[in-house]
Structure 1
Amino acid sequence: MFKKKVVSLALVITILLLSIIGCTSPQAQKQEENVLEQEWKEVIASAKGTEVNFYMWGGSRTINQWVKGYVAKNLKEKYDITLNMVPMDATDFVNKLLGEKQIGKKEGTIDLLWINGENFKTAMDNELLFGPFADNLPNYNRYMNTDSKQITTDFGFPTKGYEAPYSKAQFIFIYDQNKIEKAPYSFEELIAWVKSHPGKFTYPALPDFTGSAFVRHVIYEITGGYEQYYNLEDEAEIRKKIRPALEFLADLEPYLWREGETYPSTIAQLDNMFADGEVLMSMGYDPSKATSEIVKGTYPDSARTFVLESGTISNTNFLAIPFNSPNKAGALVVANFLESFEAQLSKYNPENWGALPVFSYDKLNDQEKEELADLDLGIATLSQEVLDKHSVPELPADLVPIIEDEWNKIVGK
């Protein structure tokens, strides 16, 4: 009697496991087999009346409201798709997918991901993503510069069509035009300004994200650009190549705030120093930062933004579809909508989010350019056209820890 109960329980468990992790519904199996071969109108038809689970970072109320409001409303009205926003850190949902891959769960719960950087590389290395799908999106081909490294690489790692661009961030410098008559637009002018205004410039100590990005700009300028680093794998050679830039920064220390004896520990500390007039420049990864701080009353109304003539680092964050998404057609339609001019313009509006759009300005028609020009970005935000013309890509993600280690040895010792 006891043995029979054990066998029965084991059988029930086995059946449940098979139904949960080992099987794929006929609808999902059919989508996986042919969704990338379908005409776009067929993809839209397949997605009609379905639900799409969008897993994304949920730490911003502003972003969450835009997704659950504007995006969800338009998807329902245009495509009869119900969007479910599921807040979760990227590392957590990548680990979730890793676990599902290991146990053979062919039909999961995630349809669409907001992802980039090391999390994308981990997902690709472990075959966690569906695709390549980017070329199947009409808006990807209509609005994106598909030859740009900012679209085809993610922190130096080839996207291979397994990601579709979603938003951009770009490094900017901030200054007070009442105290600095003319912004130093070239790297040489910036360094000359720093030396002629000792104690009025600094940057956050590494590994602060913004401080680390500033140091990468110096590496680009001193060592001859970013291209040479994409094919470097030998760590000793990388350290040798970046050393002249770090020695340059060490030599610059006597002209920095407190003569470089100490650095702000965070970008927030540097922002406070700029607001108090202790230093005359700040920096950031959000081109709308100065405008936002003016609106908050943190920065003076005379705060303005500039980028270097040679370009400032920008990176892209992306959308991806898991290997076991149960609704790949729906995920494709949602991704395509998020890449539309309409959605990107709404996202760019500071009242909605303020995130940089991923479309190429050169691919917009006259009416779209006019709508873009009419958007009020605030008095201290540079135009999309200016930012696009002064943009350079990130280094591969695995170089960043090496740079930070060398900075601590040579500069921050």
Structure 2
Amino acid sequence: MNRFIQKALCAVAACALALSLSACGSTSPATGAASADVPTVTIWGYGGQEVREALQAVADAHNADPAYNTKARVEIQFVVSGTSEQSLPDRLAAAYQAGETDTDFDIIALDDSGISAILAQTSEDFFIPIDTSKIPNYENVVFKDNIVGDTFIPYRGTAVMLAYNSETVENPPATADELYQWIKDNPGRFAYCDPSTGGSGYTFVTTAIYNQLPDEARMSPDTKWETEHTAEWDNAFALMAELHPYLYQTAGKVQYPMKNAGSLDLLATKQIDMTPAFVNMVLSQKNMGTMPESIKLQPIEPAFSGALAGFCIPKIAKDQEAALSVIDYYLSYEAQAIGWNTMYASPVVDTAKLENLDHADWLEETNMDELRYFSIGMIQKDIVVRWAEEIAPLAQ
């Protein structure tokens, strides 16, 4: 459970980051760039392999672009989730506590909910305010209203939708209430992953809580939304208990799949007909041919929780000005198209202005015109803990 709590705090956060694994993709300066005079900006990231590949693909394009490669050279340091090395927050905390400056922690790529985990081990002013006037392409960003604070610049969105088998489900649920009723009407054909192992399961539970709370709650880490709204929390977990016997079963017992991939495996092999899923994971698997073409994505109302992944600059970074130039490139239309083509990352810019897209029809079907954005800080941990205490034992 502790592993997921870390992941949930970082979007699926605070996974291990080893220096020995960090050079997952060093790139060379483009021909013509004076390497001795061009600063190197290192982006530190973590998560799934697809995230690493997308960050690296944009870094390679940056380093080949003469409009940018004379200002900075980008290197990616990354660890894929599931390693057991020292976590990124721990490494940042160690550097901070040792009084280090001018480190290669130039840019931290993370889900913004993971910021609190890092600040808890460093200081409230560990990340510097970012001057967006020095990032011309920030004007391209369409989700400015969702951004919490001035230390975070988003570069991709993440969204969960309802993934379903269109061969067996002709009319998928369009609302949360319709979904809950569908689960009861179709016992054994729905699953969500253990929230302590995957963000799609966490989202399913979290949405059940926040659908009952004022809209402002989803943008606040204030624990009053938990302590002063116990009835709403109780109702949501009562709903989870009510749905429990209607979920996917093996050997006569309800099973909560491990990780996001676990529930998608059940959907791909048609052991279930429906599950909440990250859009980019479904599309990536369809592109690889491991997910049947019959699997479709459906948004529901109110929408499942979404999030933004972005960049922060620590005050221990060695070249903050060069970092701003790199962030500017990641917000360009060219870079946003690369992110989509590499991992089907939801763009944070006007998608009508993107060119040379693979599966542009998929983007049109899953485009986030609006993002039901959640930023609830440490409350995430309490959701996971309560589910583990009240719902998980029902499967034993």
Q: Does the alignment reach a TM-score above 0.5?
A: yes
Shifted more, 296-305 versus 94-103: the winner is 94-103
Q: What is the CA deviation profile of residues 272-327 of structure 1, one whole-angstrom value per residue up to 9, with x for unaligned ones? A: 22222221013322x23333223333222211111113222111111122213221
- 2:193 and 2:304 mapped to 1: Cα distance? 17
Which residue pairs with 1:342 in the alignment? 334
The counterpart of 2:358, out of the listed 352, 376, 388, is 376
| 1:137-286 alignment runs, 5 A limit | 137-146=135-144, 148-149=145-146, 152-153=147-148, 160-209=149-198, 210-221=200-211, 223-228=212-217, 230=220, 232-234=222-224, 236-237=227-228, 239-258=230-249, 261-285=254-278
CA distance in 1, matches of 2:238, 2:172: 25
Shift, 1:80, TM fit: 4.5
The whole-number CA distance in structure 1 between the counterparts of 2:69 and 2:115 is 30
- Verify: 1:387 aligned to 2:368, yes or no: yes
- Give yes or no for contact 1:53–1:111 (8 Å, CA) kept in 2: yes
* Contact residue 247 and residue 255 of structure 2 kept, 8 A: no
Structure 2 counterparts to residues 64-83 of structure 1, below 5 A: 65-74=56-65, 79-83=70-74
Contact persistence 2:334–2:354 (CA under 8 A): no
Q: Residue 171 of structure 1 contacts residue 314 of structure 1 at CA under 8 Å; is this kept in 2?
A: yes
| Distance (whole Å) between structure 2 residues aligned to residue 276 and residue 345 of structure 1 | 31
| In structure 1, C-alpha distance between the alignment counterparts of 2:213 and 2:223, rounded to whole Å | 18
Q: Superposed, which structure 2 residues align to 1:389-408 within 5 Å?
A: 389=370, 391-408=371-388
Q: Distance in 1 between matches of 2:90 and 2:66?
A: 28
Equivalenced residue count is 344
Deviation string 1:227-284 (CA, Å, 9 cap, x unpaired) is 2362642564455531101101211223222387432233333222222222101332
Match of 1:106?
A: 101
1:50 aligns with 2:39: yes
Q: Match of 2:57, as an amino acid?
A: W
Contact 1:54–1:83 (CA under 8 A) maintained in structure 2: yes
Q: Which has the larger radius of gyration?
A: 1
Q: CA deviation at 1:132?
A: 3.5
Q: For the residues of structure 2 that align with 1:59 and 1:310, how far apart are their CA atoms?
A: 27
Paired residue secondary structure (2:256) = coil
What RMSD in Å do the two structures reach over aligned CA positions?
A: 3.0
Partner of 2:305, secondary structure, is strand
CA displacement at 1:171 relative to structure 2:
0.5
CA–CA distance in structure 2, aligned partners of residues 314 and 103 of structure 1 = 36
* C-alpha separation in 1, matches of 2:348 and 2:141: 8
Partner residue, 1:321 = 313
Structure 1 distance, partners of 2:325, 2:372, is 30
* Structure 1 counterpart of 2:390, one-letter code: I
In structure 2, relative to structure 1, the CA distance for the partners of 1:386 and 1:167 (3 Å cut) is closer
What is the match of residue 32 of structure 2? none
1:25-81 deviation line (CA, Å, top 9, x unaligned)? xxxxxxxxxxxxxxxxxxxxxxx8333222233862633540442232226765442
The AA in structure 1 aligned to 2:274 is: M
CA distance in 2 between counterparts of 1:382 and 1:191 reads: 27
The 1:307/1:277 distance shift into structure 2, 3 A limit, reads: same
CA contact (8 A) 2:190 2:273 kept: yes
- SS for the counterpart of 1:129 is coil
The answer to whether 1:293 aligns with 2:285 is yes
Q: Judging by fraction of residues, say which structure has more helix.
A: 1
Q: List per-residue Cα deviations over 1:99-128 (Å, max 9, x = no partner).
A: 333333332233222133454224445132
Matching residue of 1:32: none
Amino-acid identity (%): 20
* Residue identity matched to 1:207: S
Structure 1 residues not aligned, in runs of 5+: 1-47, 154-159, 362-367
